Amino acid sequence: MSRYFAAAAAGLLVATLLHVPASHAQQPTPASSAVAPSSVVVEEVAPKIRRVVFGDPPFNLVTPDTVSRMHAVVTALEGDPGVQVVIFASSTPQFFFNHFDLAQAARFPMLPGAEPTPMWVDLVARLSRAPFVSIAAIRGRTRGGGNELALAMDLRYASRELALFAQPEVGTGIVPGGGGPERLPRLVGRDRALEAILGSEDYDAATAERYGWVTRTLPDAELDRFVMATAQRLAGFDRAALAAAKAQVNRASLPPDADLAAAYREYSRSLANPNLRPRLARLGQFVAEQGPDVELRLGDYLGRVGSPP
C-alpha cells in the first residue's frame, strides 16, 4: 500500500474544497463516509436488467466507501449469469458520480496480493470487461473520478439540460489517476483530451456529445425512457453474443491495465505537490464566500484559483 500512498500522509489534504464553513451552516454540507456511508442500491427493474443507484448527498463525492461498495456490486453482478444489462444512475439531484473526496485520499482501499492493487483500478478495469453491458444514465455533474467511472462504462447517455463533465485535477495541482488520461483521448482525440484535462473546465452535455465524450444526449424528460428501451432491446439478445462482441471492441479500444495502474501511482505521487495546499486554501476562500456554489460551478472557480485574492 505504501508504494501507492507514500506521498499521501494522513491529514495531508485539507477539506477546504469540500467543507462549507459555519457562515453557510444553513446550506447542505458533505457528510463524511464514516458518519453517513454512501448508498449503492441494486434494483431488478426487468428480467436480465439491473439498476445501480448511487447516492451520497449533497455532492456524491467518490469516497473509500463508495469504491468498496461499487467494487462489491460490480463483482457480484459480473458473476450473475442472469444479468445482461446494468444501468447506473444517481439519486442525488445535480450530481451523477462526482470527483474523489481528496480529504480521504490516503484511505482509498487496496486489494491484497503480492503486488497490491488499488481497488479503484480493479473496479474500472472489471467494469469495462464485465460480461454485462453497462449503461450510464447521467444527470448532473460528472467530474474527476466520477467521470472516469462513467468512461469505464459501455454506453453513456446524458441529460441535455442537466449533465456536466470535467477532469478538474490539474486545476487543483494534482493529476488525474482513475483512467481519464487513458480513456478520454481514445474517445475525443488527443487535443480535446488535453484541452479537458489541462484546462479543468466544466463541459456541458452538448459539447460532450459533439466531442464524443458521451454516446448521445437526450432531453431530460426522455432520458430514462430511452435508457430503459435500450436496456430492454439489449436484454432481448443472446448474452454470449453480446459479451463476445463487447470483448472484440475492447481489444481495439481499452487501455492496458498496466497503464491504469501507472496513472494511479502518478496521481498518488501528485498529492505531495507543494502547490496543492495553497490552491486548496484559495478554493477554501471561495467556499467561505460562496458556499456550495463552488461545488456547483467548480470549473469556473478553478479558473480563478491562480488569481490574486
Q: What is the pLDDT of residues 244-264, one digit of tens each?
A: 999 999 999 999 999 999 999
Secondary structure in 3-state letters for 117-169: EEHHHHHHHHHHHCCCEEEEEECCEEEHHHHHHHHCCCEEEEECCCCEEECCH
Q: CA torsion sign, 125 to 151 to 118 to 115?
A: positive
Do the Cβ atoms of 20 and 29 come closer than 8 Å? yes
Do the Cβ atoms of 200 and 299 come closer than 8 Å? yes
Query: Which CATH number describes the domain made up of 2-300?
Result: 3.90.226.10
Domain boundaries, the chain: 2-300
Do the Cβ atoms of 60 and 95 come closer than 8 Å? yes
The cell for 87 is 444501468
Q: What is the pLDDT of residues 37-56, one digit of tens each?
A: 789 999 999 999 999 999 99
Do the Cβ atoms of 164 and 202 come closer than 8 Å? yes
Q: What is the pLDDT of residues 16-29, one digit of tens each?
A: 343 333 333 333 33
pTM: 0.89
